[in-house]
Structures are given as C-alpha cells and as structure tokens.
C-alpha cells in the first residue's frame, strides 16, 4: 500500500506540470503549435540522452541478470500488448491512434521519474529493458501505424538517433566504457527533463482542444477504460497465472517495474510523433490527457491489487 501511495503522489506532481503547460496557452503566453519544437527536442535529444546515461553503470552479475530479465519481460509484454491491440481494434473498431494507445505507454516520460522516486535512482536502469524495446517499436511498428508501410525503411531505422543511442548504450555497458564525467553529467541533466517536457507539451496541446467535447466524449472514456483498466487486469492475470513473481529480491522488483510500465497512460511519444508526422495530434493529445488524469486513480489501485494478489 505504501508503494501505491507514493505512486499516487508522484503522478499528481507530473499532472500538475500538464496543467502548467495548459495555463501557458490559456494565458496567451504561448500558442499550442509552439509545442512542436519541444516535441522535436524530446524525441531527438532528451530520449537519446536518457538511453545513453542509463547504461553508464558498473557491471555486476546481479545487474546483468536484472537487465536481462527486464529485457525478456519487455519483449513478452509488448507481444501481448500488440496482440491485445489487434484484438481490441477488431472488437471496438479502433483507428490507428486508438490502437497505438493500447500498445504504447508512457514508460519513459512517466516511469523513469516514478521509479527514481519510489525505488531509488539506482533502480532506474531496470526500466531500460522496457524502454529499449518500446523505443525500437516506436520507430518501426508505431511509425507503420501512423504513416503506413511505405514510410518505413531499414536505413531510416538504423540511422535514427534513438536507435543509435540505444545500441551505443548497450555497447558501452557491455565493454564497461565510461564516458567522461562532464559528458555523462550533461546527458543526465538533459535526460532528467524527459518527464517535465513531455507533460508541458501535452498540456499545451490539450489547451487547444474543445474541452467540453473531450470531457463529454464517450469514445475517449472507452479508450481510457481499455488502456487503464482492461489491459492492466489482463496483464495482472497473466503475471499471476504464469507464476513468474514471488520469492522477493531484485527479481520481484524488476517484475513490478515492468508491470508498472505496462499500466501507464497512453504514451506522450504518440502525441509527439502524431504532431511531427502530421496526424491528428489533437485526438492523440485528448487520449493522452484523459488517460494521464485518470491514471492518478487507476495506477495506484492496480499496484495495490498487484501486491495483494501476487
């Protein structure tokens, strides 16, 4: 229960940053479209910095085992999420943005600051497995959903700064190559902005939406229900039935972190990529905004249920 309460407090803090971005636009200090540069900064500078810094840690057998477990869990959970996304698409006639909300969660922007606050900064590295897999899928599966099959090429994937930073981080960790303190410090400082910048962008975009229409939209509530309740409950059942959790120690903490990443609200990156690639960023923002606000209630409840059942 203590973990659930800590989680609720931290999510509330990040939600207040969304309201700050909202206020900037409503007070006419900025315009919603001026969030575009921030989206580019988040996608092409902050995210790579997070990835490189996460792997600047000492190698130990326990750390390596935890990382390997987080990577395996990330692959397994994403396979389940993609399959559930396809199933729910057929059942509820989801469009591309709605389907993306079923698969992609705010695992970087939200989970990194949450894990650092609840479990300590040293545990942030165990979010990297989920983030690595999701980041790869952002530039492959998600891009296919948003842009169509003709927009994807292996050259585009392999030359993307996010993929390159991921591969570089893994190599640096495996070879135990440490970056100079000044460089690593700069990466850590820039990476620490991932939560606030994403929340500000979301708030600025939400400010341009017809709020009455969003609040009264049954469709948005349906997507939020599927993302925040139905999918987490199915994944919780999967964890329980599989028997992978239990026994205590680092293994259970890594599993809990991975589960936490899957029950988060819709990914801010979907909103950012919708903006960059000219899709319906307003709808993506509405989904992101509603799921972010409601997750203040649903995430602590799901974690409390997880700890009770598992």
Residues facing 266 on adjacent strands? 105
The sign of the dihedral angle between the CA atoms of 135, 141, 143, 145 is negative
- Token pair 């899928």 in the structure block, residue: 137
Q: Where are the alpha helices (DSSP H) in 42-193?
A: 47-54, 61-92, 96-103, 111-118, 128-137, 143-147, 154-158, 161-174, 181-191
Does an H or E element contain 16, and which?
helix 2-26
User: Using one digit for the tens of pLDDT, what is the confidence trace for 28-62?
Assistant: 999 888 888 887 888 789 888 887 888 888 888 88
The answer to whether 208 and 282 have CB atoms below 8 angstroms apart is yes
User: Using one digit for the tens of pLDDT, what is the confidence trace for 183-224?
Assistant: 999 998 998 888 788 788 878 877 877 777 677 788 999 999
Picking from 7, 1, 74, 21, the residue whose alpha carbon sits closest to that of residue 295 is 7
| pLDDT exceeds cutoff 80 at 259 | yes
Could you tell me which CATH class the domain 2-205+218-309 is placed in?
Answer: mainly alpha
Show the tokens assigned to 11: 């999510």
Domain boundaries, the chain: 2-205+218-309
pLDDT of residue 308: 87
Report the alpha-carbon angle 89-276-93, nearest 5. Answer: 10
Distance CA 266, CA 107 (A): 9
User: Using one digit for the tens of pLDDT, what is the confidence trace for 242-251?
Assistant: 888 776 788 8
Report the alpha-carbon angle 118-258-123, nearest 5. Answer: 40
| pLDDT exceeds cutoff 90 at 132 | no
Does an H or E element contain 6, and which?
helix 2-26
């Amino acid at each position: 229960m203590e973990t659930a309460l800590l989680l609720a407090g931290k999510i509330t803090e990040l939600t207040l940053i969304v309201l700050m971005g909202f206020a900037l636009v409503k007070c006419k200090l900025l315009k919603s479209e001026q969030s575009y540069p921030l989206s580019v900064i988040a996608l092409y500078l902050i995210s790579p910095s997070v990835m490189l810094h996460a792997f600047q840690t000492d190698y130990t057998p326990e750390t390596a085992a935890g990382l390997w477990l987080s990577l395996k869990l990330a692959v397994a959970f994403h396979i389940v999420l993609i399959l559930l996304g396809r199933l729910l698409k057929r059942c509820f006639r989801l469009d591309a943005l709605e389907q993306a909300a079923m698969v992609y969660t705010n695992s970087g922007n939200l989970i990194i600051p949450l894990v650092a606050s609840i479990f300590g900064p040293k545990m942030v590295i165990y979010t990297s497995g989920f983030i690595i897999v999701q980041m790869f899928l952002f530039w492959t599966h998600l891009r296919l959903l948003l842009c169509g099959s003709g927009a994807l090429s292996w050259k585009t994937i392999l030359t993307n700064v996010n993929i390159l930073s991921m591969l570089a981080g893994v190599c640096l960790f495996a070879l135990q190559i440490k970056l100079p303190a000044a460089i690593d410090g700069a990466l850590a400082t820039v990476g620490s902005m991932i939560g606030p910048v994403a929340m500000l962008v979301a708030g600025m975009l939400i400010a341009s939406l017809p709020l009455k229409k969003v609040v009264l939209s049954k469709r948005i509530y349906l997507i939020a229900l599927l993302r925040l309740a139905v999918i987490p409950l199915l994944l919780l059942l999967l964890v329980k039935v599989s028997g992978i959790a239990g026994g205590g120690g680092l293994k259970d903490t890594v599993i809990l972190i991975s589960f936490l990443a899957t029950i988060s609200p819709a990914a801010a990156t979907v909103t950012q990529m919708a903006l960059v690639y000219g899709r319906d960023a307003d709808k993506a923002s509405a989904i992101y905004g509603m799921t972010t606000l409601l997750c203040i209630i649903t995430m602590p409840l799901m974690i409390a249920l997880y700890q009770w059942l598992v």
